[in-house]
Each structure stands twice: as C-alpha cells, then as structure tokens.
Structure 1
Amino acid sequence: MKRTHSKLKPIAASLLLAMGAAGTASAEISDKFTVGGFVDMSWTYADIDGGSSEQSAGIDQVEFNIGYQFDDKLSATVDIEYQDNGTGEEVDLEQAFVSYAVSDQFSIKAGRFLSYTGWETEEPTGLFQYSGTGYAAYFYGGYQQGVSGIYSGDGFAVALSVVNDLGDLEGEARDSEQPGFETMLAIMPTEEITIKGFYSTDSLDGTSEDTTLVNLWASYSTGALTLAAEYNTSENAPAYVFGGAGIDAEASGYLLMGNYAFDSFGLTLRYHDWEIETATGATYEDASGFTISPSITVSDNLLMVFEYRLDEVNDVDSDFIAVEALITF
C-alpha cells in the first residue's frame, strides 16, 4: 500500500495532536458518529541517470474521515486531508457528500466525491504498494462535484455520475460551462472475479473538443493471491490536466499487478506503461516502470511497506526506494 513525501512542519504536528484528541473522544461518541483516518509517513530516495539524487523523510499525508448516520437511509461523509503536493503544504476538504439509500439496491450521493474510476486508489490505504503508477491524471476521473447514482444487482452494478466536470487528482475543479458524465458497468461473475468498465466525457472550456476517458480493469482474488490488469485510453486529457495548456493529445496505458499475502507478510509485483501522443503524432511522453514491494503488518493499526521501483520516462532511467509507515485509526 501507499505514497508521497513531505517534511514534518508545525501544521502537521498540530494535526497529529488533533488526531489524538479525536481518537480519544471517538470512543464516547454515539454509534451514529464515526471518526477514522490515517497517518502516512515515509523515507524515500530517488536517483535519476545523468542527474542528481535526492532523499526525503517526513509526513506524507494525514487524513480524517468523519461520518454521520442520520437514519437507516441518510448519511453524510466528510474527509479532511493534509499533504505536501510538491508546491507546498495544504489542508483540503477532500470529500463532503450526503448519501441516500433509496432501496437495498439503489443509492444516490451528492456533493464532492472521488470518481469510481481506476484500479489504483487515490488513498495510500487502498494501494498494494507504496507508489501509484503516476498515470492516474491522464485516465481517472479525479475529485468531482455533482450527483451520482449506483444500482447493484445480482452479480453486476451500474452507475452514472453527473458532475460540474471530471475534476483532477489535486481536487481542483474547472467549473466548466457544461456538465461532465461518468458511466460504470461492473460484472462479478464469481466471488473471485471482478470486471469494471468506465466511460467518462467532459467538454473543454472555450473549445469544441471533448475530453474522453476510458478505463477498464479486471481482478482475480482468491485466498492470499490477488491479480489485476488495467487498460486505459483518453483523448485531450493532457490539455485538461495541464490547465488547458492547448496540448491536444491521445494517451493509452496499462498495468499488470500481482500480490501475495500470507500471515503478516505481503509481496507485490507491478509493471505499468503509458504513452501520450500530440495531435501531430509526436510522442509527448513515453513511460514505463517495474515495482517490487514487500510489506509487513506490524499490528492491526501499523503497516510497513518497502518499495524498489525502476522507471524509464522518455528514455531516462531512474531508481526509486521507499520505506513507509502507514498508521490507521
């Protein structure tokens, strides 16, 4: 599982103190009110061929997940996050939405929420290794503001989200003049197999072009073994991600991953690859990487993750090493 890096500064320390206070108080709160979250910290070392090497250690991310169950149908969720995004420290309202269960099969949520798309989650608690591939911004929907409905049947699920725009993984919305749409079809033919497909579209501001994202993934999980494969395509996503920089492009990417967990030990192997071409057919970015990541469950609340990653981006190789401590509460 996991990701990122930053320095432990006063704001992070104050959040940790607040986390301790919240954790103590949560034991006395009614069963309608829940507080959880995580603290993610790491040491990382990166070495780029022909360039410099650097290392970093500290708090990557701190998050509080607050939930309130009004009744058996209506609930509210708020996620508050601290992280260093590379340009400075930020405290963000990551998610804030209400959910209503119309029936046992159909529910609706409205507010600010994370897209359903993508095999790899945005949070470190949902990863099988330390780092994400790095291609999510080109193919996943990101954080969105709008309304979403999901229907779950016997061995399948369908979802539709109507949002201001598809958002991005920094949580910034473009507030475009036309809404964006995300559709999902999930098939679970057996307890071990899950297959999901997503088609998302949004209009680029001030142009006649649309952003389209296609994300397909499948997983097989039995006992200690989990296998997954993902394939993505997109059009005009880089222009969207880079703030409308005018880079009309097509992108494609995939990953293959395997994880084996036994007792308190786990091992993840992953290969990923993606390519972005401009409208003229020139290669804008060509990247691939291999990751090996063992992990150890120290206790119910502490996971240690170790990672070695070899990347090649536009014919430049780099080595990356990480040691992560992930504390959940």
Structure 2
Amino acid sequence: MNKLLSLTAAGVLLSSSALYGQIEINENLSVTGFLDMSLYHADDDSGDSTSFDLDQMEIDFLYSFNEITAEVDLDYQRGETNEIDLEQAFITYDLGEGTSITAGKFLSYMGWETAEPTGLYQYSYAYGTTIPGYHNGVTIDFSDDWGSIGLAVLDSVYDDDGSINSDADDYDMGIETKVVFTPADGWTFFLGYGIDSANAGLEDRELINFWTSYEFGATTLAFEYNIYSDTFSDIDQWLLMYSVATGDKGTFTARISDSVTEYTMLDYSASGLWEDEDFKYTVAYIHAVNDNLAIVTEASLTDGGSYRGDLTEFAVEALFTF
C-alpha cells in the first residue's frame, strides 16, 4: 500500500501521531496505535441499514537497535474470522547507502490508498480486493534522491499462510516488485507488479498497479490504474482524487473511481452475467479536533449497473491516534 503519504493536509491530520507522536517506553521500544469507530448508513434497492461499531483497533510496537529495527502490530477488526490478529511482525536490517532487507510478515507494496484508516483521505476504499494485504516473505529495497526500487519474494502475494510450496495449495510462491520515481518537488510515480504462481490447472494471479500523485501547497491530486487477472476474472480499476486543506483543521476530498470485472468462468452464464461494473462518487471532509482525534464524514454513491443497482452510503468516523 501507499507508504509515501507526505504530511500534507490529510497526512498531518491523521498520520502525524502515528509517525511522530509515539509513546516512548525506552530507548529501544516505542508504542503507537489507533481506535477507529464509525456510524454508517447504507441504502440500496433491497432496503437500508444503519450501524454503529468499533471498526478497528491497533497497537504497534516499534523496536530500534542501531541498524536493526523491528515492528509488531496487533490488530482487531470487526467481523474478521480472527478478530484479534498479528497483522505485521518483521525485522529490517539497514545495510547503508539506502539499501535495506526486511523479513517477516509485512504489508504489500501495492496501492495508492493505505491499508489503515490513519492514512486515508476519506472513510471508504475506492474498490474491492485486487490490492493485496499482508504476506510473509523477504524484501530488498533501495532508495535514493530519485526514488526507490524494491523486490519481495513471498509465500503468496494474496495469502499469508507462510506456505511457499505445497500440493494442498492452489498457489505457490509469489513475487512483488516496485519502481518509484520522484522527479520533481511534489511529484511521485509508482509502478508495481505482483504475481502468484498457480497449481492444479489454475492461472497465475497477476496485478499491475500504477499510481501518481502531485502535491502543491495545500492540494493533493492522485490517479491510480490497476489491471488484475486470475482464473476467474479480468479486472480493470481506476481512481481520480482531489484533496485540499480548508483552514487549519480541515481537509476536503473528492474522488471518482471505477471497477470493471469481466468474468471468465461458465458458472456466470446461467444468469447472463459476463461483465460487472461499479462506478463510485465520493466526497469527504476531515476535521482535526486536536492532535489525536479526527472526525471523518463521507457520502458516496455507487452505480452498480443493472445487476446490483445503486448504493448510497453515509458515514461519520471518529479516529483516535496515539
């Protein structure tokens, strides 16, 4: 996911505590985390529903021993099979000259939108699950003034079971790569590729992820495009986002996004569903109550076509970071 979020308006409001406000236990250990609660309302062709929940809670332990650092994240998410989860646990060895090696369970390179709500410019995500999450493996990364490159050898791009090669698995080892360019002040270009090698007559899972962002003054512009394919479907996705600071404590964001799925399995022929599309409009406002608490409000409209119809969503989120 996007780990290059600068401290622009949304970054200052939601990420400054996690990046700089850590609770220092001793010279080798710091703790940070967040609580995420929301009031959510949805209305579609089948009816409407409203909920209020603690969506997510996370505590991160950050270790530092000269050139070796480590991180362990414990995470609760409502509705997950294992609601309390070891989200991340990895060590990083700094080789110097901008080069580092990381091993353990860690987050994917891919995606403009961050995995955690503390890095988002709004409440919801643009589209579904083509962007990978957390997985086990080893990465080598190099960064310089022009940008960075990275290579990850993984148990799987999309799974985190730790199995590299097993006859019982549909997919074996995965690989991710990234190239990031920062050619001028405010500009970032990211190109990533991920592949899971398939077993048992399945096709490889492949993802090409491109995004670019431009930050000038209090404004951020971003564009993303994804191409994903597997045995069952081919998916094209894109988003366009505009975000601007409004005063000292606010950020307004507008986003449009689209996800088109072309199904390749005959199972869908009975219903005549060969292609599916979700076109989404989103507006959001973030208000920083203080350095640790932000209130996020959002309204979204998704056009799901003739198959699912329209979906209207409203959310108010309280995000407390420490």
So what's the TM-score if we normalise by structure 2?
Answer: 0.85
Match of 2:4 in 1: none
Residue by residue, what CA displacement relative to the aligned partner does 1:257-305 show, whole Å, maximum 9, x if unpaired? 0100131011000000011112269634311100000111110000000
Q: Tell me the number of residue pairs that the alignment of Structure 1 and Structure 2 aligns.
A: 287
> Quick check: 1:261 aligned with 2:254?
no
CA distance in 2, matches of 1:224, 1:173: 42
Q: Which of these residues, 141, 158, 169, is aligned with residue 150 of structure 1?
A: 141
Match of 2:47 in 1: 52
Match of 1:41 in 2: 37
> Quick check: 1:190 aligned with 2:184?
yes
Alignment of 1:156-175 (within 5 A): 156-168=147-159
Match of 1:83 in 2: 77
CA distance in 2, matches of 1:63, 1:124: 11
Alignment of 1:171-320 (within 5 A): 176-177=165-166, 178-207=172-201, 209-236=203-230, 248-262=232-246, 263-279=248-264, 283-315=274-306, 316-320=309-313
Is contact 1:144–1:167 with CA below 8 Å preserved after alignment? yes
Is contact 1:82–1:91 with CA below 8 Å preserved after alignment? yes
Is contact 1:167–1:173 with CA below 8 Å preserved after alignment? no
CA distance in 2, matches of 1:175, 1:314: 39
Match of 1:92 in 2: 85
| Shift in CA distance, 175/45, structure 1 to aligned 2, threshold 3 Å | farther
Q: For structure 2, list consecutive stretches of 5 or more residues without a partner in the other structure.
A: 1-21, 167-171, 267-272
Identical counterparts, % of pairs: 37
Match of 1:125 in 2: 118
Is contact 2:127–2:258 with CA below 8 Å preserved after alignment? no
Q: Deviation at 1:58?
A: 2.0
CA distance in 2, matches of 1:259, 1:65: 28
CA distance in 1, matches of 2:75, 2:201: 34
Is contact 1:272–1:289 with CA below 8 Å preserved after alignment? yes
SS at match of 2:118: helix
CA distance in 2, matches of 1:267, 1:173: 40
Match of 1:14 in 2: none
Q: For structure 1, list consecutive stretches of 5 or more residues without a partner in the other structure.
A: 1-24, 237-246
The CA RMSD measured in Å over matched residues stands at: 1.9
Q: With CA pairs under 8 Å and 6+ residues apart, which has the higher RCO, 1 or 2?
A: 2
> Quick check: 1:111 aligned with 2:104?
yes
CA distance in 2, matches of 1:265, 1:276: 36
- Letter aligned with residue 255 of structure 2: R
CA distance in 2, matches of 1:221, 1:174: 40
CA distance in 2, matches of 1:235, 1:75: 36
Is contact 2:259–2:278 with CA below 8 Å preserved after alignment? yes
SS at match of 1:179: strand
Q: Deviation at 1:176?
A: 4.8
| Shift in CA distance, 26/189, structure 1 to aligned 2, threshold 3 Å | closer
Is contact 2:73–2:89 with CA below 8 Å preserved after alignment? yes
Q: Deviation at 1:204?
A: 2.2
CA distance in 1, matches of 2:161, 2:278: 25
CA distance in 1, matches of 2:23, 2:83: 25
Is contact 2:72–2:90 with CA below 8 Å preserved after alignment? yes
So what's the TM-score if we normalise by structure 1?
Answer: 0.83
